[in-house]
Amino acid sequence: MPQSTAHDVGSPASQIAVGARRSASGIRTATANMVIVTAFTIAALYYGKAVFIPLAIAVLVAFVLSPIVAILRRLKLPRIVAAPTVVVATFALLFSIGVVLSDQIRDLAEDLPRFEYSLREKVRAIRSTLTANPAMERAAETLKDLQSELKGDGDKQQPKAPSTDSSRLAPGRLTPADPPAAQTPDTTPIPVEIHYPNPSPIDNLLSLLSPLIEPAAMLAIVVVLVLFMLMQKEELRDRFIRLTGATDMQRATAAMTDAGQRLSRFFLTMTVLNVAYGLFISLALWALGVPAPVLWGILAALMRFVPIVGSFIAAAFPVVLAAAVTPGWTTMLLALGLFVISEALMGQVIEPLVQGKSTGLSPFAILIATAFWTLLWGPVGLLLAIPITLCLVVIGQHVDNLNFIHVMLGDEPAFSLQERFYQRTLAGDATEITELAEQHIKERPLSCYYSEIAIGALRLAQIDADGALIETEHMERIERTVETMVDNLWEYPDQFPKHTKQSGDAVAGGDDLDEYNDVDCRIIGTADLPVLQQHELADSWRQPNSVLCVAAHTPIDRAAAHVLSQVLYAHGISAEVVDGGNIQEHGSEHSAKRARLICIVSVSAQLAPTRYLARRVARRHKDAALFIVLLGADEEKAAAFADSYPEMSERVIVNLRDTTSRIIAHVSSSNLARADRTAQISVLA
């Protein structure tokens, strides 16, 4: 027994089990470490916001000003002069805007009492309109009754006076009705006044400056950080690359430079658009007579950085003031229409036209980022949420250690089309991959979808199968799902969409093929290949079993054979799918003996089983043409395979297009040879 136990411990199965336990333990440890690091980071951001908020603002301002500094550098101005000049000019402009804002706020505070009467009249009008409605009156009465019920009946009862029954009074006690005046206590409150000493001039100065100390300190930190970042841009980039652990310095440097330039252009464009939007709002509100138009224009420009709720916040105050300016409702409606129309034009027309249709963030990421940064940093976090998150997503796209941020928050799909196809076939969802194919076919031919997506996904599945990462039942599910998809798409022709110039005869001739909007489709697709007409084919080629698509080894090969059979059918050639393991049994049948062309399909990169199968098929079906399709091999492996099988060197193919093209050529040449023989017989006769 001890020997058996020792043997069991050292067996491959026990080693795999130990490795699996160690792997699971490592995953749990990595997850715990990630949770700890995330919690520590969030705590640091919250408690260290006095440091991180100026840093975040400085980074964003540096991204905005970096293109301007680059322009001055191209004008031969040294960086040590260009960066301070841009920073001083920018913050001087911001200071001027702050002065204008203070004047606007003071004027608005002075004008507000003048608008009180107009607002009261509008509130009365709204109230009278609501109360004049019988339905609203009944609703109000119902609410009052419900409120009374919730309070309870005891609230309506008055407290009873204490009993004055003389029988209940203790002997020798005075009755409450006749208390002596001497025993009544004096409850008159005594006024108390607290006098503070008059504040000194220094105290007055400190009380005046205390609210300004924190903003002034933050502004000073931001100015210094922005100046430092602009002057040490390349040095900071190199240090960031070193901290992220990049191994390929050249690639990492190029990626970070590209990311910095993209962010700088995006933020500068966004800032210019928002400033133009705020200027337009200010002029429009000034024309409508709304007080403090510059204030509301600046608020509108800032709120455009805030997703979803920003436009509502920007419109609320000026619309209310517009209602108070004039007795009627016209000004308010005009102000409301101004914000609705201008926001729609900015969001749906101008921004997509200038900087693309997407910010690079998914809608889910926008909501989560807004809530997260607002909870951490308050109103400042609300303004900085989208810019900060966008920086993290772009950087995560180029830094491997931060790629999870790009995956979670970016607007790009989590899976590529090939990976999505593979994942849905693993789940056995033929409906979704059929819908994806139909969406793809609207813009590109059927064969492009099969070549780029379906075959690519089957390669991924075969790689996992070769690495023993998926079981046989999974491969069989993939094969069944692909077969169902092929059946759903069986009647679709392999042609260019009708809205392109290449539909019809022009495609077959290939004259206008260069104008097609996707060059790769000409290389791997088969839509430009001819479609053989059934009445032109010999009787032997019209039978479904005249062409056999043989799955070389695995169910995934069978799935690829189904795809090839539909592409051949779309070009006028009927084909039947059989398993390579059953080719000997099938070869004894009368239908298999009549096969004129056999196409062995393999998706695996392991070519030895395919080589042996090809030799057996060639020996048992000498009268049939044999093609070997190695969809999982590259050109080098295919050349090595052909060298080991010299007689088949001209019929080893690595993609769907060449396979279809050569089969069409073979069938066409057979028809021509038959036509020539028929003509010779006719002449002799």
* Per-residue DSSP letter, 549: E
Instruction: Give the Cα separation of 433 and 274 in Å (integer).
Output: 42
Using an 8 Å Cβ cutoff, are 413 and 433 in contact? no
**pLDDT tens readout for residues 334-360:** 999 999 999 888 888 888 777 655 567
Backbone angles phi, psi at 548, to 5 degrees: -110, 125
Using an 8 Å Cβ cutoff, are 600 and 545 in contact? no
Instruction: Give the Cα separation of 325 and 291 in Å (integer).
Output: 8
Q: What's the CA angle centered on 128, arms 122 and 130, to 5 degrees?
A: 105
What count of Cα atoms within 13 Å lies in the side-chain half-sphere of residue 375?
8
Instruction: Give the Cα separation of 519 and 667 in Å (integer).
Output: 28
- Hey, which residues does 652 pair with through a beta bridge? 628
User: Judging by DSSP bridges, how do beta strands 625-630 and 652-653 pair with one another?
Assistant: parallel
Name the CA dihedral angle for 578, 580, 581, 587, rounded to a multiple of 10 degrees. Answer: 70
455-466 helix and 555-570 helix, angle to the nearest 10 degrees: 160
**Residue 644, H or E segment:** none
Of 582, 547, 493, the residue nearest 659 (C-alpha): 547
Instruction: Give the Cα separation of 351 and 386 in Å (integer).
Output: 16
Residues recorded for the chain? 685
pLDDT of res. 8: 47
Q: Which amino acid belongs to residue 540? A: S
Instruction: Give the Cα separation of 653 and 628 in Å (integer).
Output: 6
Q: Which amino acid belongs to residue 441? A: I
Instruction: Give the Cα separation of 592 and 598 in Å (integer).
Output: 10
> For the chain, which ranges sit under pLDDT 50?
1-9, 12-13, 15-18, 20, 154-157, 163-177, 501-523, 586-591, 675-685
Instruction: Give the Cα separation of 378 and 209 in Å (integer).
Output: 23
Q: Tokens 């590109």 label which residue?
A: 444
Instruction: Give the Cα separation of 488 and 432 in Å (integer).
Output: 11
Q: Quick one: tokens of 142? A: 């119902």
Which residues are within 8 A (CB) of 592 and not within 5 positions of it... i.e. 6 or more apart? 545, 548, 578, 583, 586, 621
Secondary structure, 3-state, 76-133: CCCHHHHHHHHHHHHHHHHHHHHHHHHHHHHHHHHHHHHHHHHHHHHHHHHHHHHHCC
Using an 8 Å Cβ cutoff, are 240 and 402 in contact? no
Backbone angles phi, psi at 439, to 5 degrees: -65, -40
Of 122, 67, 127, 530, the residue nearest 327 (C-alpha): 122
**CA-based Rg of the chain, rounded to a whole angstrom?**
40
**pLDDT tens readout for residues 597-644:** 888 888 888 888 888 888 888 888 777 888 888 888 777 777 777 777
Instruction: Give the Cα separation of 342 and 319 in Å (integer).
Output: 14
Using an 8 Å Cβ cutoff, are 251 and 270 in contact? no
**What Å distances lie between residue 441 and 132, 446, 510, 519, 524, CA to CA?**
60, 6, 20, 16, 15
pLDDT of res. 682: 40
Domains of the chain and CATH, by start: 48-127+214-357 (no CATH), 490-673 (3.40.50.280)
pLDDT of res. 184: 58
Which residues are within 8 A (CB) of 263 and not within 5 positions of it... i.e. 6 or more apart? 63, 390, 391, 394
pLDDT of res. 87: 92
Which residues are within 8 A (CB) of 101 and not within 5 positions of it... i.e. 6 or more apart? 294, 295, 298
